[in-house]
A = this chain, B = another copy of it.
Amino acid sequence: MEESLDFTPKFDEKGLIPCVATCDKTGDVLMFAFMNEEALNKTIETGEAHYWSRSRQSLWHKGATSGHIQKVTEMRTDCDQDCIWIKVETNEGACHTGRKSCFYRKIQGNLNVKMEFIDEKKLFNPDDVYKG
């Protein structure tokens, strides 16, 4: 059983490690994304969340376009060191739909029933923030 204090993150076969970002005030999960080694190192060095964008295949400094920087207040890894959890302080939404959290819809206890909005409110207009 590996329980050491050496940080030896395990990247998958694509060189990525999953990362969960939660709000440091409410504990709500804001978003889920992947980091490659560069993104992980940059997050540690700068204290601001960096991810690997699988759709754009490039380093993604969260907030560089939208202004919604995520300041990391705590960073942990799990028992297998194959996942990262960051608590972040953010000035606005984490979600590209304009909401605070990407997890704004609740799944019901029955697959035949539609989901329910937890949060319908948009904090910003995505069209204003993400241009071009």
Chain A residues in the interface with B (C-beta under 8 A) = 1, 3, 5-7, 18, 20, 22, 26-29, 31-32, 41, 44, 47, 74-80, 83-85, 95-97, 99, 102-107, 109-111, 114-118, 126
Contact = CB atoms under 8 A, between A and B. Distances in A.
Given A18-B32, A44-B110, A115 B7 contact: yes
Main secondary structure of the interface of A (DSSP, over half): loop
A76 B117 CA distance: 10
B31 A22 contact: no
A10 to B, nearest CB: 12
B79 A6 contact: no
Nearest to A83: B32
